[in-house]
Amino acid sequence: MELLAEYHRWYKEEKFRWGDKWEDNEYLFPRKNGAPMFPG
């Protein structure tokens, strides 16, 4: 569970760092800017 908590912290930091350029979605593993890895 600690690994998941660490990933969640990193995710929130990246979202903040990218600001308006972040593409918010519900995917667990997005690209660097939050966009889906493999859009369908």
**Euclidean distance between CA atoms 19 and 13, whole angstroms:** 10
Mean pLDDT across the chain: 85
pLDDT digits (tens, 9 = 90+) for 4-19: 899 889 889 988 999 9
Cβ atoms of 29 and 11 within 8 Å: the answer is no
- Spell out where the chain has E strands: none
**Euclidean distance between CA atoms 6 and 4, whole angstroms:** 5
Please give the backbone phi and psi of residue 30, each rounded to the nearest 5 degrees, phi first: -85, 175
| Averaged pLDDT, 21-25 | 85
Does 20 or 31 have the greater pLDDT score?
A: 20
